[in-house]
Amino acid sequence: MGHISYEKIKELPPMPQIAKKVIDLLEDPDFSFAELVRIISKDANITVAILKLANSAFYSPKNEIVNLTQAMSYLGVKAIKSLVISLSTKSLFNHGRVNLIDQKLWEHSVATAIMSRLIMLKVDKKLVEEAFLLGLIHDLGVSVMKMNIDNYDDILQEVFNEKLNLLDLENDRVGFNHAQVGSEVMKYWNMPELYQDVVLNHHTPENSENTSLVYVLYIANNVLKELGIGIGGYNENFTECLEKIGLDLENFEEIKVMFTEVYKSEKELFAI
């Protein structure tokens, strides 16, 4: 594994099968849409989720969308890709027994994805799907550390009980942190460098050159902790970063109102 010594991490999780198939297919510029539909239709959970998403408050179609092909052409290839990766990644968050903290981490990931997409809609429409996907997987390193490091559950519990900063405690106790591990997973999955960088810097946005994505994620991550969706402490001055992405507090208040509505209708798509 990479240049940092992660000797405590024995193995990284493989990319979920269906996500790999979809990514491989889409890499071919002449891919067939029918083939994409065929791959996805084999997974009942993802099929249902795509239908629900197409009919959700965020996409609100004029008429109800009732079949998969219709739903997929309405949402578009990029949205499908991020949904498939997101949903298939869910299993990596709930290995074994699901406790309160697992549940909170997953809710935090789903909420961060939805919030990041809503913020990005006002910043750069071309990047909304990347924002969604990055929101969903930004803390994947936490799951990988849970699977590999003894006593990591105690670290999470302490962060949760005392609202500590997770990154600091990881650096102190383990010697590396979930942002670094998450970035290694992105590399292992052959995700673009952009993803590796944004995951690596989601707590240190000033170190990234991918300003809009990293700050959108940073703001979403912090506001959700402020709203109580997530565990641990956060930077209370995060709204000062709004100007980095060209937004002000008034825009942000509107986004938060929209979030409440969209989150209510979409979170069941991702229920554990």
Neighbouring residues of 154: CB distance < 8 A, sequence distance ≥ 6: none
Neighbour tally for 82: CB within 10 Å: 24
8 A C-beta contact, residue 111 and residue 222: no
Distance CA 144, CA 230 (A): 17
The residue range among 55-63, 89-97, 183-191, 216-224 that interacts with Fe ion, by the rule CB under 5 A, is: 216-224
Closest approach of Fe ion to the CB of residue 77, in Å: 27
Distance CA 224, CA 104 (A): 11
266: contact with Fe ion by CB under 5 A: no
**Residue 127 or 167 with smaller CB distance to Fe ion:** 167
**Residue 73 or 239 with smaller CB distance to Fe ion:** 239
The residue range among 143-151, 169-177, 218-226, 233-241 that interacts with Fe ion, by the rule CB under 5 A, is: 218-226
Region 119-158 residues binding Fe ion, contact defined as CB under 5 A: 139
- DSSP type of residue 31: -
191-217: b (≥16 Cβ within 10 Å) or e: beebbbbbbbbbbebeebebebbbbbb
Closest approach of Fe ion to the CB of residue 224, in Å: 7
Closest approach of Fe ion to the CB of residue 93, in Å: 12
Determine the longest span between alpha carbons in the chain, in angstroms: 54
**Residue 189 or 218 with smaller CB distance to Fe ion:** 218
Nearest one of 212, 223, 221 to 247, comparing CA atoms: 212
Rounded to the nearest 10 degrees, the angle between the axes of helix 249-266 and helix 100-123 is: 130
Closest approach of Fe ion to the CB of residue 220, in Å: 9
8 A C-beta contact, residue 251 and residue 238: no
Region 220-249 residues binding Fe ion, contact defined as CB under 5 A: 221
Closest approach of Fe ion to the CB of residue 249, in Å: 22
**Residue 65 or 238 with smaller CB distance to Fe ion:** 238
Region 2-41 residues binding Fe ion, contact defined as CB under 5 A: none
8 A C-beta contact, residue 143 and residue 92: yes
**Residue 18 or 200 with smaller CB distance to Fe ion:** 200
Closest approach of Fe ion to the CB of residue 233, in Å: 11
Determine phi and psi for 196, rounding to 5 degrees: -60, -45
Closest approach of Fe ion to the CB of residue 232, in Å: 8
**Residue 21 or 108 with smaller CB distance to Fe ion:** 108
Contact residues: Fe ion, CB under 5 A: 139, 221
